[in-house]
Structure 1
Amino acid sequence: MASGTPSKKMREEATCSICLNLMDEPVSITCGHSYCHLCIMGFIKIMSHTEPEEFTCPQCRVPFQMESLRPNKQLGSLIEVIKELDHEMTCEIHGEQLQLFCEDEGQLICWRCERTLQHKGHTTALVEDVCQGYKEKLQNVMTKLRQLEEECVNLMVFTTKQITEWKKNIETRREKIQSDFQNLQRFLYEEEKSCMWKLEKEEEQILKRLRASEASLEQQSCALRNHILKLEEKCQGSAQELLQDVKDTLSKSWAVKLETPEALSLEPHTECNVPELYCDVKKMLRSYQVGVTLDPDTAYHELLLSEDRRQVTHGSPQDNLDASSRRFSAFPCVLGYEGFTSGRHYFEVDVGEGTAWEVGVCLENVQRGMDMKQKPEFGFWAIRLCRKKGYVALTSSPIYLHLTEHPLLMGIFLDYEAGVVSFYNMTTASHIFTFPKASFSDTLRPYFQVFQYSPLFLPPPDE
């Protein structure tokens, strides 16, 4: 009685671990493992992008070089023997030729199998009698798969054109936005960057989806091509090879479907009508204006807040304040009650004729004791007026600002997603300073430091 175990082990030894088929033109590498010549060359080509001179075995990861590849003639001869044995296709149980086909089980069987209890009452026929019928069925499913492959290729071409068109439209829109901003004043520069940032995000998102569709179609095309090649090989083989697992093959082949990519609009959604929206600076900024009031639980003990919590002055110490970890303990500071976690926001501070102050925004969890440092890396984005040094932007290395006109009304604009904090002189509707782009991940609050004889007032949004 023939045993399938030695034959199976022999096939396993002769199987390429890359393509999982019997090796074709087997070659060996330094570690002794063997692969198809085309498979290992394809592997080397992929690996050369990261390791151009030395590669590692796909199985054991032992390093090898291109020069170590050697043809394995002995293994090649063994594979030829295996192929000859495959063509004979004898019953692994009885050792007889597989001349019958069991319709119920969809298997090739021998005359002795037909007489066993396993196949009792089953419909069986000679291989020669049923081969042509199943061959026609396989050819029909191949026709269907070829149609799917053609449709897939056409969709790939269409998607590639979509990517080109999308990038062209994005570039056209980018040039238009840049052109609109060329003749505007200095403060509009940050607004332009914000629009460009949104457009690039939109471009990135749509391109990502289009490229995912392209990759999916390419993968499907490759799978369909491989499936067709296997069916062609099956049809070109012997009758026994054709009928081996033919029902399962047909079932899987007919079940193949083509996943078509989602339809995407190639018209950018990002709009930026510069002439209509931004010719009036005050109107533009105040379209984002929010009402800001002061948070008494954060106020330094020498700060006095008005009843409506819109005005703060530096006075004498107050002994009746509640103890709070949120209160500034070392510097005369106070936060706005409102917090910002997304979107665009604008508020104004009436600094009047004050000679010293700080205004801006800060993270909600900043230090509030002697170790407090008003810099972006410590959560502060603010401008200071000093009695001696004048106006200073509190960047990592302070930047001294030379203003031709002293602002009486300061405007603070925050674009959370874009990471922008800008300051404006609303007396003249002119831009003062914009901090380098940041990346916010926590709540931001309006921030104020109040010195003696320099009270601050927060006008309501409707004034």
Structure 2
Amino acid sequence: MIQQIPEPLYPPEPFATTRGSTLSPESDHLKSKTSEQFLCSICLEVFSEPVSTPCGHNFCKRCISQHWDTSRSCSCPLCNEVFTIRPKLKKNTLLSEMVSKSKREAELRSKKVSKPGDVQCSVCSEPKLKAVKSCLVCLSSFCESHLQPHLTVSGLKRHQLMEPVDDLEDRMCPTHQRPLELFCNTDQSCVCTRCVLLEHKNHEYVSLEEACERRRSSLQKTLLQNQNMVEQRRLKVQKIRAAQDQSQREADRETQQMVKVFSDIMESVQRCLDHHLEVIKQTQTKHKERAQALIQQLQQEMCELEKSSTEAQQLSLSTDPLHFLQHCPALPPAGLKDWSNVSFEPQTCEGSAARALSELETRLSRVFKQLTSTLDLRRVQQFAVDVTLDTDTAHPYLFLSENLKQVHCGDVKKKLPDSTQRFDRCANVVGKQSFSSGRFYFEVQVKGKTKWDLRVAQESVNRKGTITASPKNGIWTMWLRNRDTYKASADPSVLLSLKRPPQKVGVFVDYGAGLVSFYDVDSADLIYSFTDCSFKGKILPLFSPCRNDKGKNSSLNPVTFVSLV
């Protein structure tokens, strides 16, 4: 028989505290729920490797070993029996199995204890175990042990069991206090069997399972629709944000342009004001200098007259007739200017402000025209595309650069495979990029050329034989001949009057508006626009550097397509 004591005979050694501090929650739970027969009297913990002494008492192997290691004599801590020879400790198999069984039961019970979120057994006292079933008749939930009567008692076997839930009251008909077992399609509500016979008579109803499947299927479709709607709105948000960002960029660009434009205008006004103020200042300076010169001359003659008058007056007092006659001066003195025709009127600035305003108006008109052209060119340049040439369409006399950005006409015809896409009579080549909507812009450098053709054409344009450049044929062209003759191939052709030969030509196309415009990039002037163009399908750039013309249209100056992107 195992002797039981309320407290250990010796204070716990340090090892006992260390061991106790590392106990698992299951061991601690076992300690609290197990009788004292499973506790070591040294460490007061559940036995770990229980061993028996010759006197029949049980201890943890580690506890009794360390106790004997620190004691002067080898004795039993409980009965104080002294052993002359340190006993060889043997494992208490029965006690070890009982402790293990108790631990397993404690662990199993701890697993069944309900956790937050679990449905608790309505019968268990604390701690409540986790429920495994709920009864719609009893309106209670039961753990595995408390559920046994429902599985064995004949009267309880007829009760309707279900997976454990908390809201059992909500599953009962509030009118008839019966389980809600059916679904009324007519009223879209859950009903009991009494409701079907009374309030919902002649209604269409199905089982809860069938109604659930129908609703679940409908819900899946609704969820899919919701996901599609969410995706549509997400894309819409992206488009709105992209449009907002683009709007902000355009607003910033317009703000910068506006600040520059008005700064240029204010500088022009200031220059005009400074010029006219300087003119008034110079005019007044000249007027003042003339006045001072006249005054100085008059004052000099006044001095000479006063001197002559003084001399004559003194001589008139002489009593010597001979002296008087010999020295009598001629009055007035010779060399005096006749001032009767000399006039000096006040210098007036009347009308200067009006003339200044008129000149400012003329100057601002030129500035406004230039700024308008510049802003228009900058506006279309934002639609710049990178144009490269299509080697499969180039006429055999044309030579393209490696980067497909330059083209010139040679003197030797290359042997190339003939195809439906290649030009065979006209020295043309088209760009690889084609467009069927939107707006695009590109620039071509034609410096040093005496003739060239710049075109926008339908992709279906004829590649064989002679080609007539006309909007009727789906070709919109600006060309140069004889170094200074520029024309637009409208119906009929239009002779273009340019202030100076353009070194770089910009081409802008608005597909939706039916517009093709040519610009002098350096001056930002609009050269010519084709309006109301009838585009069909894809359109693309089409170019011709024209023949060398015996070196006048030299290949040293190829047509070059400028990259703006």
The structure number with the bigger radius of gyration is 2
Q: Same fold (TM over 0.5)?
A: no
Task: With the length of structure 2 as denominator, give the TM-score of the two structures.
Answer: 0.32
Q: Which structure has the higher relative contact order (CA within 8 Å, separation 6+)?
A: 1
Question: How does the TM-score come out when normalised to structure 1?
Answer: 0.39
